[in-house]
């Protein structure tokens, strides 16, 4: 297993550690429910240094991004970020990612999922026919996500960059906790507000920034948060997890990601998605909440009242904020209406659930 620059800090703090995407990662510290509540109500720090970062540079950088991603990166100005996906050649998804515009038309950073770094690199390289300069900086980049309604208030004293007024999906670069060239973006995977901070893993940058953040947050209830709460937080928001809710066999239109699929440009699988938009899809990703007691899990069958199979659960949990079991899954289009009764097969029982609006409430 690989370590992040913060692995020993997690161990020293007593975190429950486990393998995730080839890395030794903290799953929880004080408990998933406690950590979840800390982020929803105050602020918490996630080590997400396992994520991948690529720099694309040159006159053809934007052209390459436009060809391999579904969203329209030409709309990005310097200091703006965008959620997008990499479609494969068969109408599925290679990965979902963030596109950061560092310098308009010339320099971009792509942030990809940890488990897909090599796969994404090969896919983008394969389409790089015009010699765009590409750098995989994943192994030398630290990434901390400080999420929650009070995150920017806690961090603001550590920098002269204006974090309090940073608009959603924009970013700034500057000095943070004495470290130069730190990129701070108003992005995240929790729906609770906050920022993500990227910086180079060199000298004692990791120690400086981690220690400074926790010194400022010590009296303000700031907590370290593991991947367990990251999953419950993102699921309450209905955010897709690659490998669960989206993968090489799911299309963005099936997954409710039509809003990041722009037909004003040419890109991989465009024709397939245009046909799906015109003709409709046979299945869609929906949120649902359990009516009967039981926890839906990835891979459980979804059935109709007669017991006929209509889909499959992709994600599920007991929601800490809502006090009920929730999930997401693909079902046949006829069963996607809000309030529609569906049944989750848990062991040998069919437990009643209903299709719910996401974000869950």
DSSP, residue by residue, 210-223: HHHHHHHHTTTT-E
- Mean local confidence (pLDDT), 50-77: 98
Residue found under tokens 């929880």: 28
Range of the domain at 157: 7-48+139-235
Task: For residue 300, give the CATH number of its domain.
Answer: 2.40.30.110
CB atoms within 10 A of CB 231: 19
Looking at the structure, tell me whether residues 28 and 171 fall in a common domain.
yes
Among 235, 267, 294, the domain-final residue is 235
The predicted-structure confidence for 238-280, as pLDDT tens digits, reads as follows: 999 999 999 999 999 999 999 999 999 999 999 999 999 999 9
Entry pTM: 0.97
If asked whether residues 19 and 147 sit together in one domain, one would say yes
Residue 101 forms part of a structural domain: no
pLDDT digits (tens, 9 = 90+) for 342-357: 999 999 999 999 999 9
**Half-sphere exposure (Cβ direction) of 38: Cα atoms closer than 13 Å:** 24
Residues 341 and 219 in one domain: no
Q: What is the pLDDT of residues 275-300, one digit of tens each?
A: 999 999 999 999 999 999 999 999 99
Q: Compute the average pLDDT of residues 166-188.
A: 98
C-alpha distances out from residue 122 to 134, 139, 210, 250, 315, Å: 11, 16, 33, 20, 28
| Closest C-alpha among 83, 92, 89 to residue 251 | 92
| Cα separations in angstroms, 58 against 19, 62, 138 | 37, 8, 20
Neighbour-count burial of 188, counting CB atoms closer than 10 A to its CB (0-12 exposed, 13-18 middle, 19+ buried): buried
């Amino acid at each position: 297993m690989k370590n992040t620059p913060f692995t020993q800090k997690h161990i020293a703090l007593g975190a429950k550690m486990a393998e995730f995407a080839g890395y030794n990662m903290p799953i929880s510290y004080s408990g998933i429910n406690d950590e979840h509540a800390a982020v929803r109500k105050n602020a918490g720090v996630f080590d997400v240094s396992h994520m991948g970062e690529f720099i694309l540079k040159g006159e053809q950088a934007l052209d390459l991004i436009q060809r391999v991603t579904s969203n329209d990166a030409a709309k990005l100005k310097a200091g703006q970020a965008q959620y997008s996906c990499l479609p494969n050649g068969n109408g599925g998804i290679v990965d979902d990612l963030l596109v950061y515009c560092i310098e308009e038309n010339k320099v971009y950073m792509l942030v990809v999922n940890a488990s897909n770094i090599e796969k994404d690199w090969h896919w983008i390289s394969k389409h790089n026919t015009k010699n765009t300069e590409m750098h995989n900086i994943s192994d030398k980049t630290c990434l901390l996500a400080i999420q929650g309604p009070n995150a920017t208030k806690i961090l603001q004293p550590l920098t002269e960059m204006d974090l309090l007024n940073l608009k959603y999906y924009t970013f700034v670069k500057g000095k943070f906790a004495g470290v130069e060239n730190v990129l701070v973006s108003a992005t995240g995977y929790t729906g609770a507000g906050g920022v993500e901070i990227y910086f180079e893993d060199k000298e004692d940058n990791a120690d400086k920034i981690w220690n400074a953040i926790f010194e400022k947050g010590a009296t303000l209830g700031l907590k370290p948060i593991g991947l367990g709460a990251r999953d419950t937080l993102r699921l309450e928001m209905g955010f897709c997890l690659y490998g669960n809710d989206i993968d090489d066999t799911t299309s963005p239109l099936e997954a409710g990601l039509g809003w990041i699929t722009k037909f004003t440009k040419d890109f991989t699988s465009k024709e397939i998605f245009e046909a799906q938009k015109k003709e409709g899809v046979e299945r869609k990703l929906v949120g649902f909440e359990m009516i009967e007691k039981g926890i839906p899990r990835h891979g459980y069958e979804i059935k109709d009242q007669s017991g006929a199979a209509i889909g499959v659960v992709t994600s599920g949990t007991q929601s800490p904020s809502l006090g009920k079991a929730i999930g997401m899954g693909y079902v046949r289009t006829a069963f996607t209406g809000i309030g529609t009764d569906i049944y989750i097969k848990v062991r040998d029982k069919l437990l009643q659930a209903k299709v719910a609006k996401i974000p869950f409430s």
